């Protein structure tokens, strides 16, 4: 019975730690003329991530990172 209480308290503490974890705020990806210009410049320079973002913007399936 003592082992059960110990395991139960450990599980409770883990759940409490997960519940109290601070959420990270996401910054929105703003698409304006300057960001598109930068994406195109980087894409022409060979940046694969910029190419994927531009391709995703035209297919409406962009992973904006």
Tokens matching residue 53: 């973002």
pLDDT of 18 over the 90 cut? no
pLDDT of residue 58: 76
Q: What is the pLDDT of residue 1?
A: 77
42, two tokens: 């980087």
Q: What is the mean pLDDT of the chain?
A: 82
pLDDT cut 90: percent of the chain above it: 15
Residue 58 is encoded by which pair of tokens?
């035209």
Is the model's pLDDT at 27 over the cut of 70? yes
Task: Look at the chain and count its residues.
Answer: 65
- State the pTM of this model: 0.47
Residue 42, pLDDT above cutoff 90: yes
d(CA 35, CA 9): 50
Distance of CA 20 to the CA centre of its chain: 19
């Amino acid at each position: 019975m003592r082992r059960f209480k110990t395991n139960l308290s450990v599980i409770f503490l883990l759940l409490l730690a997960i519940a109290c974890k601070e959420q990270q705020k996401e910054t929105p990806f703003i698409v304006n003329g300057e960001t598109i210009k930068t994406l195109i410049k980087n894409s022409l320079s060979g940046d694969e991530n910029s190419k994927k973002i531009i391709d995703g913007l035209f297919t409406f399936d962009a992973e904006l990172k």
